[in-house]
Amino acid sequence: MLFSVMEYSDQSHQDSTVGHFDQVKMLVFRSGGIVFGADVEEVIEILDDENSKIEELPDTPGLMWDDLVGFTTFRKEELAVISLNQQFDLTPALDNVMGIESAQVIVVQNEYGYLGIQVDQIDTIIDLEIEHIDSIPHFVENLLEVESLWGMGKASQSTDMLSVTDDGIGDVIMLVGLNDILPEDQKRLIQTITYSKFRDMAETSSLGLTSES
């Protein structure tokens, strides 16, 4: 028994000397009162209040673009923006009820181009050590209705997380795959539409609805 344990720790030591992942840089942000972490490699840019004025969309019940919050401009092109609160069915934090403009947008990139993800607040970037990352507990995994959460980061005295504990971040963060928030078909739909095309469709659709009723 002791031997197998030692063998295991030997092996993990070898792995770490090869240096795959000793730690991961995580962007820490908040939405709906929950603290999330995302691998910074997924993050292209962060748009703050000033450079992320979002053109909100007209209400279009029944259309397939429920996930789309609006458009902003990124690198001189239209950027489709979704909301993490809406995707995860969260209530925006109280200090953020002022509205959509006060939020921040994380820009990610996938095969369909860029996508903006609106969150309540960006906090910091931390180095999270691999040994402080847990998988989702079995019990939670069975009840979880989304697939983008992939793990939980834990604070410990040797991580930087303790230093941000004072800001109310605490000692557990939910690790989320930013490009897994939307299903493939929604990504294609949302990231390939433009604002003018959307408006045309919304008008046609609401006209259609009016004439039916």
Partner 1 sequence: MKAGEAGGTVARRKTDLILQQAAQEKIDSHQEVTTEDVRTLVRFFLGEEQYAIDASYISGVWDQDQWSIYPIPCVPSYLLGVINLRSDIISVLDLCDYFGLPTSEIDDVTRIMVVDPALGKNEEGQLVVGFLVDKVVDIQPISLSEIQPPLTTIEKVTAEYIDGETHFEDKDTGTETLIGIISVESVLVAEMNARLSEKE
Backbone phi, psi, residue 95, to 5° = -75, 5
Binding mask 88-107 for partner 1 (x = CB under 8 A): xxx-----------------
167 binds partner 1 (CB under 8 A): no
Q: Is 150 helix (H, G, I), strand (E, B) or coil?
A: strand
The maximal CA–CA distance of the chain, rounded, in angstroms, is 77
Quick check: 133 and 175 in contact, CB under 8 A?
yes
Instruction: Tell me which stretch binds partner 1 (CB under 8 A): 21-29, 30-38, 50-58, 60-68.
Output: 30-38
166 binds partner 1 (CB under 8 A): no
55 binds partner 1 (CB under 8 A): no
For the sheet with 121-129, list strands across it: 121-129, 23-31, 34-39, 172-176, 149-154, 133-134
Nearer to partner 1, 89 or 111 (CB): 89
Nearer to partner 1, 2 or 143 (CB): 143
Backbone phi, psi, residue 82, to 5° = -110, 165
Shortest distance in whole angstroms from residue 55 CB to partner 1: 27
Shortest distance in whole angstroms from residue 130 CB to partner 1: 14
Name the residue type at position 13.
Answer: H
4 binds partner 1 (CB under 8 A): no
Out of 99, 170, 183, 208, the only residue in the binding site for partner 1 (CB under 8 A) is: 170
DSSP characters for 6-56?
HHHHHHHHHHHHHTS-SEEEEEEEEETTEEEEEEGGGEEEEE-TTT---EE
Out of 143, 166, 210, 211, the only residue in the binding site for partner 1 (CB under 8 A) is: 143
76 binds partner 1 (CB under 8 A): no
Residue 164 and residue 123: Cα distance in Å, rounded? 9
Q: Which residues bind partner 1 (CB under 8 A)?
A: 32-35, 88-90, 132, 134, 137-140, 142-146, 149, 152, 154-156, 170-172, 174
